[in-house]
Amino acid sequence: MQKYQKTMRVLLIIMALMATIATKGNATTHGLTDDEAERTALLMVHFGTTHDDTRQLTIDAVNNLTRQEFPQTEVREAYTSRIVIKRLAQRGIVRQTPLEALLQLRADGFERVVVQPTHIIPGEEYATLLNDVRQVEHLFKYIRVGKPLLYTLADCREMAEKLTAAHATEKHTHVVFVGHGTEHPANAIYSQMDRLMKQCSPRCHVGTIEGFPALDDVVQQLRQVKAHRVVLVPLMFVAGDHAKNDISVEWKETLEKEGMQVELCIEGLGQRADVQDLFVRHVRDAMNDR
């Protein structure tokens, strides 16, 4: 499998170089005219999932929305998780990495590309994506990368207000939003979200599976406020393994051992229309060089 992937990548590189030589151009274009939009590709980049149910509600949904919003633009997708790509390949489902997808686009004759990730924060996956783009940007006349969901303070404030309004509706119920977490410095955004959500409702908390605030930190907060009833909500684009295993099992059981009544709201952020709309706005910003 690895040998096949390497061979395909080499072929894509050769095809991309041939396409570049044929078009003889690598100047940067600022903004897109209607004519340019017809020759532009939008690459939607997702972490990916092996769970078909949540994929249809999140990844497929936002891909379809971008096709509706940008009808003149070729929309394709790529996954950043090599583990997910490998597991899907075992089921006969092929997904390209961002680098492979970009090379394929260039080989297919596209000179202008907007890359839009559906990552939640600008962490390790986003940094790797930017590096992939740098490797091939010389092959394109125009290539831009859109921002993750929570990039600016305005993004975070908007999502904090909308998520708390949607979930913090009962007076004596605390809501815990659980993100993935990372060792990357961008993990600090989760602490920022915790603060912003508490400004909207003191009964809202943010925790992470692999970062800070961790489960123990959330338990301590809930103890201090003497929480009796808690709702767990994934702060993730898809409701995949982490949502169905870590949140639904480990986090739920841990809080129940503390004597709390725990309910689950297992749905990916990508199912929300307002989240999908924010990603579309990020695509527009990238197209307009904002």
Active site residues: 180
Distance CA 90, CA 92 (A): 5
The residue assigned the tokens 């059981």 is 253
Helix axes 153-167, 273-287, angle to 10 degrees: 170
Distance CA 268, CA 163 (A): 12
Q: Which backbone phi and psi does 75 adopt, to 5 degrees? A: -110, 125
Phi, then psi, of 268 in degrees rounded to 5: -75, 150
Cα separation, 219 vs 9, whole angstroms? 47
Residue 226's identity, in one-letter code, is: K
Start-to-end CA distance of the chain, whole Å, equals 40
CB of 261 closer than 8 Å to CB of 230? yes
Rounded Cα distance between 163 and 132, Å, is 32
- In angstroms, the Cα distances linking 159 to 100, 141, 149, 156, 193 are 32, 34, 9, 5, 9
Q: Are 230 and 174 in contact (CB under 8 A)?
A: yes
210: nearest Cα among 174, 171, 236: 236
Compute the residue count for the chain: 290
Q: What angle do CA 69, 193, 290 make, to 5 degrees?
A: 40
